[in-house]
Amino acid sequence: IMPTLSVILITRNEEANLDDCLASLEGIAQQIVVVDTNSSDRTLEIAQKYGATISQPPDWPGFGPQKNRALDLATGEWVLSLDADERLTPALKSEILTAIHHSAHVDCFAIPRLSWYCGRFIRHSGWSPDYVDRLFKRGTARFSDDLVHERLIPNGQVAKLNNPMLHYSFMNFSQVLNKIDRYSTASAIQAYARGKRSNPCKAVLHGLWAFFRTYILKAGFLDGKHGLALAISNGEGSYYRYMKIWLLELEARNED
């Protein structure tokens, strides 16, 4: 008997992505779980079209806890966690089916991601191969409680799949800037709460280091002009994060 598979997603205003994502699950998912945060577009309508189990909690606890809510609604023997901007290819689907059918000792599989940045897939820059733990036996893993940059914490052995999933992370530059702002804010709040402190000089150094690491150490120059643009935006993201930590510090001092 083929093991059952639940696919879990968390969403917010994902009508531009969700249809393609859920269409790519055809023939593989026995259950689709969508936990949504206040979508005001067609996200829920699209989820209903694919027969998804839908939950809309009133609050937003952060990425990790929200993914655990989705996990708690899964009923399949195996769970695949996806983001709305990710797609399965036919090759990956058949590899997933083989993996869950023959996984005697493995409870979790890492899937490589091929990510899109403003017009092309990035093959270097630290973005490829980008292995993410996503496919696991239900009951053997939970997500970390992080507000942002959450990760799956598997109990058992992790094996790697070969075929990448496609990740349409940035379709245009407005999305890049929007995400830099949102993620630098969330990660600054998280870092500040854990005792990290900063200043403008530190922020500049971290920004320069993130650029150097992406463009030189991770061979971003091999991605051409897109690699240069990505290295700059990585540098900016790091710079803003450390500036925001410093500003949180100033705010706290002013309140005292």
Q: Residue 148: pLDDT above 80? A: no
With a CB cutoff of 8 Å and minimum separation 6, the contacts of 101 are 2, 3
Q: What percent of the chain has pLDDT over 70?
A: 100
Q: Residue 1: pLDDT above 90? A: no
Are the beta carbons of 160 and 81 closer than 8 angstroms?
no
pTM of the model: 0.86
**pLDDT of 255:** 86
Q: Quick one: pLDDT band at residue 105, thresholds 50, 70, 90?
A: confident
Task: Return the H-helix or E-strand segment holding 8.
Answer: strand 5-11
Q: Residue 128: pLDDT above 90? A: no
Q: How far apart are CA 7 and CA 26, in angstroms?
A: 11
Residue pLDDT, tens place only, 224-243: 999 999 999 999 999 999 99
Report CA-CA distances (Å) from 230 to 26, 176, 220.
33, 9, 8
**pLDDT of 53:** 97
**pLDDT of 175:** 92
The DSSP string of 11-66 is ESS-HHHHHHHHHTTTTT-SEEEEEESS--SSHHHHHHHTT-EEE--SS---HHHH
Q: How far apart are CA 51 and CA 210, in angstroms?
A: 42
**pLDDT of 75:** 98
Average pLDDT, the chain: 95
Residue pLDDT, tens place only, 36-47: 999 999 999 999
Are the beta carbons of 158 and 105 closer than 8 angstroms?
no
Q: Residue 129: pLDDT above 90? A: no
From 34, 149, 24, select the one nearest 81 (Cα to Cα): 34
The more confident residue out of 2 and 206 is 206
